[in-house]
Amino acid sequence: MSTKIEIRNEKNYNKKPILKLVKEYLSSISIAKITLTAIALIYVFAVLILPLVAVFVKGLEKGYSVYIASITDPIALDAIKLTLKAILIAVPLNTVFGIVAAWLISKFEFKGKNILITIIDMPFAISPVIAGFVFVLLFSDTHGLFGEILTKYDMQIIFNTPGIIIATVFVTFPFVARELIPIMQSKGSSEEEAALTLGASGLKTFFKITLPNIKWALLYGVILTAARAAGEFGAVSVVSGHIRGLTTTLPLHIEILYNEYQFSAAFAVASLLTIIALINLIAKSVIEWKIKKESINEEVE
């Protein structure tokens, strides 16, 4: 009897340290998790949320009437119109280019494929300021490579709206292609080949099969393109000439106001870009959730 009691006591003695160690380990993990989460939240608040709030606080510090006057000023409205024009031209052009480039790269093997991929990645590698100077060297009326031809036909690109459009298109054209290429490569071309074999036209195959497969990635690329176009500063700054009311986009108008010590007006206009950024961020998050949901459904099927 005493032997059984000793064995039970020995088992209980062996269990206690193990349970204690497990509890200590779990508590240490929870403490580390809470600590890391707190550090991450503090960092996000200090680096992202606080500056965004400060933009609106500074923009509204002189009152609502001054805020409205700043963003409805004729020069500010011209900057808004030019920014929207750049977005409305750059996004469709780069969407078409991105779809065609992604289709070629993912579906076909051809000479120059690696060169095309390199060209697509070029805006990521080249500074926007350098890109702006390249466009000046190409299209300047005085010392541009095509200056004489442009002068002959009375065309002005640099220090004019076309230069801003070209610069915006250049810095934004990789985004749609870069979002579509991996999706198209992962999907393969078996569905398209089957549709073509059954007699469907190329256009019908694209709209019925290819487009539904890439729709969320396409929207994601469009949102990134629009966000980049709205906030572009470097290349546009070089080719614009900072002519108020003519060649100033929203970022350039903000810079001019800030350099003139019109801080409230500068932050008021900056709040518009902040709102655009927040809308893009929300849309981006929704699309990411949709893409993740679709990938999970495909894995289940």
Using CB atoms within 10 Å of the CB of residue 87, give its burial: 0 to 12 exposed, 13 to 18 middle, 19+ buried.
Answer: buried
CB neighbour list of residue 31: distance below 8 Å, 6 or more residues apart: none
Per DSSP, helices labelled H in 45-152 are 50-59, 64-71, 74-107, 113-125, 128-139, 147-152
pLDDT digits (tens, 9 = 90+) for 51-80: 888 899 998 988 889 899 999 999 999 999
Tell me which DSSP letter residue 262 carries.
-
Amino acid occupying residue 11: K
State the DSSP code for 47. Answer: I
CB contact set of 269 (below 8 Å; sequence gap of 6+): 59, 70, 71, 76, 79, 250, 253, 254, 257
Does residue 86 surpass a pLDDT of 90? yes
pTM listed for this prediction: 0.81
- Under the banding of pLDDT at 50, 70 and 90, the label for residue 290 is confident
- CATH numbers and ranges of domains, the chain: 15-51 (no CATH), 63-299 (1.10.3720.10)
Name the residue with higher pLDDT: 239 or 300: 239
Residue 47 token pair: 């680096």
Encode pLDDT of 166-224 as tens digits.
999 999 999 999 999 998 888 877 787 788 787 777 788 888 888 888 888 899 999 99
